[in-house]
Amino acid sequence: MNFYILTLFPDMITQALNTSIIGRAKEKGILKITAVNIRDYTKDKHQKTDDYPYGGGAGMVMQAQPIYDAYQAVRAKMKKKPRTIYLTPQGPAFTQNMAKELAGEEDLVFLCGHYEGVDERVLEEIVTDSVSIGDYVLTGGELPAMVMIDAVSRMVPGVLANEDSAAWESFEGNLLEYPQYSRPYEWNGKKVPDVLLSGDHFKIEQWRREQSILRTKQYRPDLLKKADLTIREKAVYHVYDERN
Ligand code: ADE
């Protein structure tokens, strides 16, 4: 899978995405991450990429031309028009389902804005999806792009060492993950729940499922309403969804 990030700060991207799991997937050739410096495409003699907003107001606006030319350079490498994501607090919120869906694409382009915004005309020309990573305002789109690339990458087959670890985790079926324990058996006066040492896989699964449901009920009651629960589970844990 190929990620292209159109940005004024390419170093930020390359530094952060070279480590750990994502770095290893790049080395294995499963992922390719290319940060494209928008400034390399400006036709302004002073290398400028922004200008004052028409109509006045604070801050600067990123101009259309350098962004469009950077995009076209990337577009030329592909057969079809790529999904092009503009990071903005105005978009719908990023979710695990979006990450899974985007992991099916061969190429993804991210446009990172800065300053007060981006000339609307270039957004109309190239953007297919606007996405926010949450209801707060950041100084630029680089961190949101990295958040999305991390979440999408780990859904790409071969990126995680153990394929099961992607399937059994928070948000699967709209439930949070159960608690995990490792050695030693007793630490700081606290013991590992005995069921996990019982060797009874059915009981262990039951316990983990119960923990997932209880955690979701405590921390994310909004999610629990959408969770895939059996009728019995709904009764036991007092879950009432909008349908009944
Ligand atoms: N750019 C600035 N803030 C953002 C946010 N919350 N999500 C995505 N892009 C952004």
- Identify whether the C-beta of residue 22 lies closer than 8 Å to the C-beta of residue 155: no
Q: Which pLDDT score, from 0 to 100, does residue 244 have?
A: 46
Q: Which pLDDT score, from 0 to 100, does residue 240 have?
A: 81
Q: Which pLDDT score, from 0 to 100, does residue 178 have?
A: 96
Predicted TM-score (pTM) above 0.85: yes
What is the DSSP secondary structure assignment for residue 93, as one 8-state letter?
A: B
CA–CA separation, 240 vs 29, rounded Å?
A: 46
Q: Whose CA is nearest to atom 2 of ligand 1?
A: 138
Does the beta carbon of 88 lie inside 6 Å of ligand 1?
yes
Q: Which pLDDT score, from 0 to 100, does residue 115 have?
A: 79
- Distance (angstroms) between ligand 1 centre and the Cα of 216 equals 26
Residues of the chain with pLDDT under 70: 163-168, 241-244
Q: Which pLDDT score, from 0 to 100, does residue 171 have?
A: 85
Ligand 1 atom closest to the Cα of residue 134 is 6
φ/ψ of residue 129, rounded to 5: -140, 130
Q: Whose CA is nearest to atom 10 of ligand 1?
A: 88
Ligand 1 atom closest to the Cα of residue 131 is 8
Q: Which pLDDT score, from 0 to 100, does residue 241 have?
A: 62
Does the beta carbon of 135 lie inside 6 Å of ligand 1?
no
- Distance (angstroms) between ligand 1 centre and the Cα of 143 equals 8
- Identify whether the C-beta of residue 30 lies closer than 8 Å to the C-beta of residue 2: no
Contacts 24+ apart (CB under 8 A), 39-47: 39/8, 39/66, 40/70, 41/65, 41/66, 41/67, 41/69, 41/70, 41/73, 42/66, 43/69
Q: Which pLDDT score, from 0 to 100, does residue 166 have?
A: 64
Ligand 1 atom closest to the Cα of residue 113 is 1
- Distance (angstroms) between ligand 1 centre and the Cα of 133 equals 6
Identify the H or E element spanning 88.
none
Does the beta carbon of 138 lie inside 6 Å of ligand 1?
yes
Q: Which pLDDT score, from 0 to 100, does residue 19 have?
A: 82
- Identify whether the C-beta of residue 152 lies closer than 8 Å to the C-beta of residue 5: no
In this structure, what is the dihedral angle of CA atoms 229, 230, 233, 235, given to the nearest 10 degrees? 110
Does the beta carbon of 134 lie inside 6 Å of ligand 1?
yes
- Distance (angstroms) between ligand 1 centre and the Cα of 89 equals 4
Q: Which pLDDT score, from 0 to 100, does residue 168 have?
A: 60
